């Protein structure tokens, strides 16, 4: 990939990506921690602990995102391509 193309791709990627922690995501969607805990059938302290973990299981993260109305996608980024890992997608 040419250096010009890399720069364009990087600019596009940075424009498209928003990085935020789980708690910030919940707040940005106007979902309270209490409501989310109820949906996930967790106590509010257990949800808070999960939101602040540095290491979380993919299935737990997927459940959290689904409870917010979204779908988790895992993308592996390489210098010349991105690959969506579908092993963890919900099976229908």
Q: What is the pLDDT of residues 28-40, one digit of tens each?
A: 889 999 999 999 9
Band (pLDDT 50/70/90 cuts) for residue 52 is confident
Contact 67, 40 (CB under 8 A): yes
Query: Considering only CA atoms, which of 87, 90, 84, 75 is closest in space to residue 17?
Result: 75
Q: What pLDDT shows up at residue 69?
A: 92
Q: Is the domain defined by 22-85 classed in CATH 1.10.260?
A: yes
Contact 21, 33 (CB under 8 A): no
Per residue in 68-89, pLDDT (tens digit) is 999 998 889 899 999 998 876 6
pLDDT at 92 over 50: no
What is the pLDDT of the chain when averaged over all its residues?
Answer: 84
User: Using CA atoms, how far apart are residues 35 and 70, in angstroms rounded to an integer?
Assistant: 16
Model pTM score = 0.69
């Amino acid at each position: 990939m040419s250096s010009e193309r890399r720069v364009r791709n990087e600019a596009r990627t940075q424009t498209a990506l928003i990085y935020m922690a789980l708690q910030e995501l919940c707040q940005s969607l106007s979902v309270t921690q209490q409501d989310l805990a109820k949906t996930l059938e967790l106590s509010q302290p257990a949800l808070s602990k999960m939101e602040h973990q540095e290491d979380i299981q993919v299935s737990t993260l997927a459940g959290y995102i689904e409870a917010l109305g979204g779908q988790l996608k895992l993308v592996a980024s390489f210098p010349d391509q991105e690959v969506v890992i579908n092993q963890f997608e919900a099976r229908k």
